[in-house]
Amino acid sequence: MARIFVLNGPNLNMLGKREPSIYGGLDLAGIERLVRDKATSLGAEIEFRQTNHEGDLVDWIHEADEADALGIVLNPGAYTHTSIALHDAIRAISLPVIEVHLSNVFAREAFRHHSWVSPVAKGVICGFGPKAYALALEALASDLAK
Ligand code: DHK
Protein backbone atom coordinates (compact mmCIF):
# COMPACT_ATOMS: atom_id res chain seq x y z
CA MET A 1 0.00 0.00 0.00
CA ALA A 2 1.23 3.50 -0.85
CA ARG A 3 2.69 5.21 2.18
CA ILE A 4 2.47 8.98 2.58
CA PHE A 5 4.28 10.94 5.28
CA VAL A 6 2.32 13.91 6.67
CA LEU A 7 4.75 16.06 8.62
CA ASN A 8 3.87 19.07 10.75
CA GLY A 9 6.27 21.63 12.16
CA PRO A 10 6.40 23.94 15.15
CA ASN A 11 3.35 25.23 17.00
CA LEU A 12 0.94 23.10 15.01
CA ASN A 13 0.40 21.07 18.19
CA MET A 14 -1.32 24.26 19.44
CA LEU A 15 -4.00 24.22 16.76
CA GLY A 16 -7.49 24.66 18.17
CA LYS A 17 -6.39 27.23 20.72
CA ARG A 18 -3.76 29.07 18.66
CA GLU A 19 -5.11 32.19 16.90
CA PRO A 20 -8.32 30.45 15.75
CA SER A 21 -9.27 33.45 13.58
CA ILE A 22 -6.22 32.60 11.45
CA TYR A 23 -5.74 28.84 11.86
CA GLY A 24 -9.33 27.75 12.54
CA GLY A 25 -10.84 25.87 15.44
CA LEU A 26 -9.81 22.33 14.52
CA ASP A 27 -6.99 20.84 16.57
CA LEU A 28 -4.20 18.67 15.16
CA ALA A 29 -5.98 15.47 16.20
CA GLY A 30 -8.93 16.67 14.11
CA ILE A 31 -6.65 17.26 11.14
CA GLU A 32 -5.16 13.80 11.63
CA ARG A 33 -8.68 12.27 11.53
CA LEU A 34 -9.46 14.17 8.34
CA VAL A 35 -6.16 12.98 6.82
CA ARG A 36 -6.78 9.36 7.81
CA ASP A 37 -10.34 9.44 6.38
CA LYS A 38 -9.04 10.82 3.10
CA ALA A 39 -6.22 8.27 3.02
CA THR A 40 -8.69 5.42 3.50
CA SER A 41 -10.70 6.58 0.51
CA LEU A 42 -7.48 6.81 -1.53
CA GLY A 43 -6.10 3.49 -0.33
CA ALA A 44 -3.02 5.09 1.19
CA GLU A 45 -1.25 4.44 4.48
CA ILE A 46 -0.35 7.51 6.55
CA GLU A 47 2.58 8.34 8.80
CA PHE A 48 1.28 11.44 10.65
CA ARG A 49 3.75 13.37 12.83
CA GLN A 50 4.33 16.76 14.48
CA THR A 51 7.45 18.25 16.01
CA ASN A 52 8.64 21.59 17.31
CA HIS A 53 12.24 20.77 16.29
CA GLU A 54 13.77 21.49 12.89
CA GLY A 55 16.14 18.50 12.93
CA ASP A 56 13.25 16.08 13.46
CA LEU A 57 11.70 17.29 10.22
CA VAL A 58 15.04 16.82 8.43
CA ASP A 59 15.34 13.26 9.83
CA TRP A 60 11.74 12.39 8.88
CA ILE A 61 12.21 13.70 5.32
CA HIS A 62 15.21 11.37 4.99
CA GLU A 63 13.22 8.53 6.59
CA ALA A 64 10.36 8.95 4.10
CA ASP A 65 12.86 8.66 1.26
CA GLU A 66 14.50 5.56 2.77
CA ALA A 67 11.02 4.04 3.26
CA ASP A 68 10.34 4.66 -0.42
CA ALA A 69 7.13 6.52 0.43
CA LEU A 70 4.87 7.85 -2.29
CA GLY A 71 5.51 11.37 -1.12
CA ILE A 72 5.43 13.87 1.71
CA VAL A 73 2.79 16.40 2.74
CA LEU A 74 4.69 19.01 4.71
CA ASN A 75 3.45 21.91 6.80
CA PRO A 76 6.78 23.27 8.03
CA GLY A 77 5.16 25.98 10.20
CA ALA A 78 7.52 28.92 10.68
CA TYR A 79 10.48 26.86 9.42
CA THR A 80 8.97 27.48 5.98
CA HIS A 81 10.36 30.99 6.15
CA THR A 82 13.72 30.29 7.78
CA SER A 83 15.02 26.81 7.08
CA ILE A 84 17.74 26.20 4.52
CA ALA A 85 18.15 22.80 6.23
CA LEU A 86 14.64 21.81 5.11
CA HIS A 87 15.34 23.15 1.62
CA ASP A 88 18.49 21.02 1.43
CA ALA A 89 16.77 17.94 2.89
CA ILE A 90 14.10 18.08 0.18
CA ARG A 91 16.75 18.57 -2.51
CA ALA A 92 18.54 15.49 -1.18
CA ILE A 93 15.60 13.15 -1.78
CA SER A 94 13.68 12.09 -4.84
CA LEU A 95 10.14 12.03 -3.41
CA PRO A 96 7.54 14.66 -4.29
CA VAL A 97 6.89 17.06 -1.42
CA ILE A 98 3.64 19.05 -1.26
CA GLU A 99 3.95 22.15 0.93
CA VAL A 100 0.74 23.00 2.76
CA HIS A 101 -0.36 25.88 4.96
CA LEU A 102 -3.69 26.36 6.65
CA SER A 103 -3.61 30.11 6.17
CA ASN A 104 -2.93 32.11 3.01
CA VAL A 105 0.61 33.14 3.90
CA PHE A 106 0.65 35.70 1.06
CA ALA A 107 -2.24 37.60 2.61
CA ARG A 108 -0.34 37.91 5.89
CA GLU A 109 2.84 39.59 7.16
CA ALA A 110 5.65 40.16 4.63
CA PHE A 111 7.98 37.80 6.53
CA ARG A 112 5.63 34.94 5.61
CA HIS A 113 5.79 35.66 1.88
CA HIS A 114 9.13 33.93 1.38
CA SER A 115 9.39 30.15 1.58
CA TRP A 116 12.62 28.14 1.47
CA VAL A 117 10.48 25.06 0.79
CA SER A 118 8.42 26.24 -2.21
CA PRO A 119 11.30 26.24 -4.74
CA VAL A 120 11.99 22.56 -4.01
CA ALA A 121 8.38 21.47 -3.47
CA LYS A 122 6.33 19.82 -6.18
CA GLY A 123 3.48 22.16 -5.35
CA VAL A 124 2.06 24.45 -2.70
CA ILE A 125 -1.47 24.60 -1.25
CA CYS A 126 -2.39 27.38 1.15
CA GLY A 127 -5.39 29.32 2.35
CA PHE A 128 -7.97 26.53 2.49
CA GLY A 129 -7.60 25.54 6.13
CA PRO A 130 -7.46 21.80 6.93
CA LYS A 131 -8.72 20.96 3.40
CA ALA A 132 -5.19 21.71 2.22
CA TYR A 133 -4.10 18.34 3.62
CA ALA A 134 -6.83 16.43 1.75
CA LEU A 135 -6.04 18.28 -1.48
CA ALA A 136 -2.35 17.45 -1.09
CA LEU A 137 -3.11 13.76 -0.51
CA GLU A 138 -5.26 13.75 -3.64
CA ALA A 139 -2.46 15.32 -5.65
CA LEU A 140 -0.03 12.65 -4.50
CA ALA A 141 -2.40 9.74 -4.96
CA SER A 142 -3.58 10.83 -8.39
CA ASP A 143 -0.10 11.07 -9.88
CA LEU A 144 -0.40 14.83 -10.13
CA ALA A 145 2.75 15.10 -8.09
CA LYS A 146 4.87 12.98 -10.47
C1 DHK B 1 1.73 27.74 10.04
C2 DHK B 1 2.60 28.43 10.80
O3 DHK B 1 2.92 28.00 12.03
C4 DHK B 1 3.16 29.71 10.36
O5 DHK B 1 4.44 29.94 10.89
C6 DHK B 1 3.19 29.84 8.86
C7 DHK B 1 1.45 28.10 8.64
C8 DHK B 1 1.84 29.51 8.27
C9 DHK B 1 0.03 27.71 8.26
O10 DHK B 1 -0.74 28.56 7.82
O11 DHK B 1 -0.31 26.53 8.37
O12 DHK B 1 3.58 31.12 8.50
Containing structural domain, residue 66: 2-145
Q: Find the helix or strand (DSSP H, E) in which 53 lies.
A: none
pLDDT (tens digit per residue) in 29-81: 999 999 999 999 999 999 999 999 999 999 999 999 999 999 999 999 999 99
User: Which of these is catalytic: 23, 79, 87, 133?
Assistant: 23
* Residue type at 3 in one-letter notation: R
Contacts of 26 (CB under 8 A, 6+ apart): 15, 16, 34, 129, 130
Best mutation site among 8, 74, 101, 126 for ligand 1, i.e. most ligand atoms within 8 A of its Cβ?
A: 101
79 is catalytic: no
User: Which of these is catalytic: 53, 79, 81, 101?
Assistant: 101
CATH of the domain at 99: 3.40.50.9100
Contacts of 72 (CB under 8 A, 6+ apart): 4, 5, 6, 7, 61, 64, 95, 96, 97, 98
Number of domains present in the structure of the chain: 1
Report the b/e string of 73-105 with b at 16+ CB within 10 A. bbbbbebbbebeebbebbeebebbbbbbbbbeb
pLDDT grade, residue 1 (50/70/90)? confident
pLDDT reported for residue 146: 55
